[in-house]
Homo-oligomer: A and B are copies of this chain.
Amino acid sequence: MISFLNGEFVPADRAVVSVLDRGFLYGDGLFETLLVSNARPFRWDQHWQRLEQGASFLGIEAPFPAQAARQAINRLIHENQTREALARITLSRGVGPRGYSPRGANSPTFAITLHSAPPAPDPTRPVRWKLQTASFRLNHQDLLAQFKTANKLAQVLARAEVEADGADEALLLNDRDQVVEAATGNLFWVEDGVVLTPPIEGILPGVTRQAVLELCAATGITTREDSPDLARLQHSDGVFISLSSFGVVPAESINGRPCRLSSCSDRLLADYLELVRRETA
């Protein structure tokens, strides 16, 4: 697989960074993961905009304008002859003087890699996930949570914890006992035909979350933002997770307690797949 690294198209064994790259030293960077369908990146502009906002917050200058990065990913898709894939864009602060201070670190690292796409979901037989709450708590005031930074140990350890118990995905609570997101995606639940999701406070504003809200609006499903505790999710009419790679994944259970399956999530998954098809046609 060919990757894009700092302006060059390189084979895997040359897609390397210095052990002194601040991304490797401190997680001093950002990333985006996006779906490539029909040889086109889905919602490129929104992913790129989030990356730019994060870079601005961290004080990292994106080394390529959006247009050049878009051309790079298109060529990467072409060179690797992959029509269906996941693309990962990584931007780190690169190598600089020793120590936490970012002063003098002015050569960011920029990489795009392609990865096998998961099997396309089938809305008539959706995969369902066993969800489990992780013991790690997010800080409801965390300024970094709104960006997709390379500081993701909480998510890594949350996944490890719940997978050890046989679950598929971790639900993350904040320090106010509110369930705010999943490790890899945003949280939705259904109550009396209304689709609810936590507000963007101390969590990542997912591109797929936004797509799901648009799809609800387009089909007349009422949406509302609210902050649920665990019991409210467990007693709802259905829970689902939104994420780039799968679109929408309904919950089979939360902490071992079976969840209802809302027809909303099947409908939204089908609509999402159609949206991807239309926008990447």
State A24–B113 Cα separation when bound (angstroms). 13
Whether, in the assembled complex, A163 has its beta carbon less than 8 Å from a beta carbon of chain B, the answer is yes
Q: Are A26 and B98 in contact (CB under 8 A)?
A: no
List chain B residues, Cβ under 8 A from A45: none
Please tell me if A18 contacts chain B, counting CB pairs below 8 Å. Answer: yes
A68 proximal to B (CB < 8 A): no
Interface stretch (choices A36-44, A143-151, A230-238, A267-275): A143-151
Are the C-beta atoms of A24 and B26 separated by less than 8 Å?
no
Given A100-B155, A137-B141, A184-B100, A17:B15 Cβ within 8 A: no
Identify the interface centre among A22, A92, A156: most chain B CB within 10 Å of its CB.
A156
Q: Shortest distance in angstroms between A194's beta carbon and chain B's nearest beta carbon?
A: 30
Give the residues in chain B near A150, CB-CB below 8 Å.
24-27, 153
A270 to chain B, nearest CB (A): 25
The answer to whether A184 touches B58 (Cβ under 8 A) is no
**Size of interface on A: residues with Cβ below 8 Å to B:** 58
> Chain A 132-169, CB within 8 Å of chain B: the 1/0 string?
00001101010110000111111111111001000000
Shortest distance from the beta carbon of A161 to any chain B beta carbon, whole Å:
10
Complex Cα gap A99–B20 (Å): 23
Partner of A24, one of B3, B17, B86, B160: B17
Contact status A102-B159, CB under 8 Å: yes
Cross-chain pairs A/B with CB under 8 angstroms, 21 sampled: A3-B19, A15-B19, A16-B19, A19-B113, A24-B90, A25-B88, A26-B151, A26-B152, A26-B153, A26-B156, A27-B150, A27-B151, A58-B153, A100-B152, A100-B158, A101-B156, A101-B159, A101-B160, A103-B160, A151-B153, A175-B175
